[in-house]
Amino acid sequence: MEHKVLNQSIQTAVEAFKKLDEKITLFTSATSLLDWDQKVMAPKKGRKAFSKAIGVLKTEEFKLMVSEEMGELLSILSTPEAADHLDEVTKARVRERKDFYDRSNSIPSDMFQEYAVLTAQANESWEEAREKNDFSIFCPDLEKIVEFNRKVVEIYGYEKHPYDALLNQYEPGLTVEKLDPLFAKLREKSIDLLQRIQQSAYKPPVEIFEQSFSVDKQKEFNRYLLPILGFDMEAGRLDETVHPFAQPININDVRITTRYIEKNVRAALFGTIHEAGHGIYEQNIDEQFEGTALQTGASYGIHESQSRFLENMVGRSEEFWKYFYPKLQEHFPSQLEQVSEEDFYRAINTVQPSMIRVEADELTYNLHIMIRYEIEKALLEGEIEVKDLPSIWNQKMEEYLGITPATDSEGVLQDVHWSFGGLGYFPSYSLGNLYAAQILNTIKKECPNFYSDIENANFDNIQEWLKTNIHQYGKLYTPNDLILKVTGEELNANYLVEYLEQKYSRIYQL
């Protein structure tokens, strides 16, 4: 009898939890659309006032996630008795909401609202600082953001390193202890490979890109490419922004952006392929997860693995351009007629240390990330102060990449992330590269026609494999469980190191 009563109360709690989970997910959907509008559509003058409206809505969303009701439901549904009655999907939904609840419920809602307003302001001050090349305009806001994060990690709690608490927001289960050796190996091998490349007499003919490529033609090519890759244009949009991004509103409304630069045809080309990778992931999540906490990618790192995989492993492969290069030549006959496919392939894979992370090649990219990772860790530990960032930044650039930015705009001010408080986020990009290389190793074994499919622009099998093994699950599995399930082993740096070594040995004739 008692058992039956218990079952009933669990059942009631499950129903109430599902409703609340859905309500929060719909709030997220609405605020995502508003974020997208701010970045893509809203007139510049109206943004500041509207950021307050977004702040209010996000606060309401936050209050639901940390509400008393949520707390009670989670405590009922996380007991061992409840575990026997919950299916796998409900358990994962509870895990996701509980994770956030436990982390956040000790943050007072006025502190959260203050932070939402601060980050909206910081975004403005960062933009102005970057435009005017004046770090001091952004510095006070960034100091407040760092201060807030120092408080927050104490509230969240951590076992060994305060930075773990920030990493966990983006990559559940990841710690400094796990990440340091992965990065150490990647750093050592990357710097060694970079030095050999720089000593190589062979130089890819990168000057082919120092020409004008009509923006209209670029748009045409991108719109031709997107659906072939597997991005569903009836369940998404492509727009233009200075900083490209992917924003899911729901599974059948996934919006990506790109930017067209006449003197830089590569920016839109690879930017679009990259964002398409994010978009295709979101579009292929199982519809049973619509309106639940699982209606998104497993983690930021896994998400980034999907964009990097499509951009680099597929989009910068020789096979890809066997098919698409003649089409690109048709769009740009005067620029590319005289350029061979081989030269084009080598030119899009040029390795050249540069100031700007988002323009970095596959090899030096990770070194940019390590600079940010080390700075964030030290900021959090209080080892360095925000006001010293411009000089620290420049020193590290010199040490890792052998170059020094001439201005802060192309140095410490280049990225938007710190302005929205995204400390702990940067490692996701390199994790994406690490995951992607490990996934490549598995997909090549399980889809023996991987490269011949790419050569024929047939992405059905590849997208089907990604959907079956990764995309459909949304956030059902933790990143660690997912990579283990997909590749049979924990994340390690060997696959990326080997991939880079092989690729560039051939290109640079090392």
CB 255 within 8 A of CB 225: no
Place of tokens 């990219």: 365
CB-wise, 14 or 431, nearer to Zn ion?
A: 431
211: left (phi over 0), alpha (psi -120 to 50) or beta: beta
Question: Min. distance of Cβ 306 from Zn ion in angstroms?
Answer: 9
Report yes or no: 347 and 129 within 8 Å, Cβ to Cβ: no
Q: Which is nearer to Zn ion, 362 or 408 (CB)?
A: 362
- At its nearest, how many Å lie between Zn ion and the CB of residue 245? 8
Q: What is the DSSP string of 336-376?
A: HTTS-HHHHHHHHT-----S-GGG--TTTHHHHHHHHHHHH
Nearer to Zn ion, 10 or 423 (CB): 423
CB of 337 to Zn ion, least distance (A): 33
**Cβ distance to Zn ion smaller for residue 21 or 415:** 415
Q: List the x/- string, 293-322, binding to Zn ion by CB under 5 A.
A: --------------x---------------
**Phi and psi based region of residue 230 (left: phi greater than 0; alpha: psi -120 to 50; beta: remaining):** left
How many chain residues interact with Zn ion (CB under 5 A)?
1
Q: Contact 130/414 with Cβ under 8 angstroms? A: yes
Q: How far is the CB of 274 from Zn ion (least distance, A)?
A: 6
Min CB(279)–Zn ion separation in Å: 10
Q: Which two tokens stand for residue 162?
A: 């305060």
Per CB under 5 A, which of residues 111..150 are in contact with Zn ion? none
Instruction: Answer for the pair 91, 293: CB distance below 8 angstroms, yes or no.
Output: no
Tell which positions 42-81 bind Zn ion, by CB under 5 A: none
Nearer to Zn ion, 70 or 267 (CB): 267
Contact 194, 364 (CB under 8 A): yes
Question: Binding to Zn ion (CB under 5 A): which residues in 235-274?
Answer: none
Residue 307 or 438 with smaller CB distance to Zn ion? 307
Between residues 307 and 478, which has the closer beta carbon with respect to Zn ion?
307
- Tokens 């490529």 belong to 213
What is the distance between the alpha carbons of residues 466 and 297, in angstroms, rounded to a whole number? Answer: 12
CB of 284 to Zn ion, least distance (A): 16
The smaller minimum CB distance to Zn ion, of residues 148 and 425, is found at: 425
Q: Residue 141 or residue 275: which is nearer to Zn ion going by CB?
A: 275
Q: Which of 275, 304, 311, 318 is catalytic?
A: 275
CB neighbour list of residue 502: distance below 8 Å, 6 or more residues apart: none
∠ CA(242), CA(245), CA(247), 5° rounding? 135
Nearest approach, Cβ of 278 to Zn ion (angstroms)? 6
- Residue 501 catalytic? no
In the complex, minimum distance from the CB of residue 269 to Zn ion, in angstroms, rounded to a whole number: 15
At closest approach, how far in Å is the CB of 54 from Zn ion? 22
Q: Taking the complex as a whole, how short is the minimal distance between the CB of residue 304 and Zn ion, in angstroms?
A: 5
Return the beta strands (E) in 350-483 as ranges: none
Which residue minimizes CB distance to Zn ion?
307
The runs of H, that is alpha helices, within 133-214 are 135-156, 162-170, 176-199
- CB hemisphere CA count around 272 (13 angstroms): 26
Question: Are 385 and 205 within 8 A, CB to CB?
Answer: no
The DSSP symbol for 247 reads E
* Position 429, amino acid: Y
From the list 491, 14, 410, 29, the residue with the least C-alpha distance to 254 is 29
Residue 297 or residue 421: which is nearer to Zn ion going by CB? 297
Interface positions, 457-496, toward Zn ion (CB under 5 A): none
Distance from C-alpha of 496 to C-alpha of 138, rounded to nearest angstrom: 36
Q: How far apart are the first and last CA of the chain?
A: 75
Who contacts 150 (Cβ-Cβ below 8 Å, separation ≥6)? Answer: 162, 380, 382
Strand partners, 133: none
Token look-up 């990449």 returns 401
C-alpha–C-alpha distance, residues 233 and 335, integer Å: 29
Q: Which of 142, 246, 50, 147 is nearest to 237 (CA)?
A: 246
Residues classed as catalytic: 275
Residues at the interface with Zn ion (CB under 5 A): 307
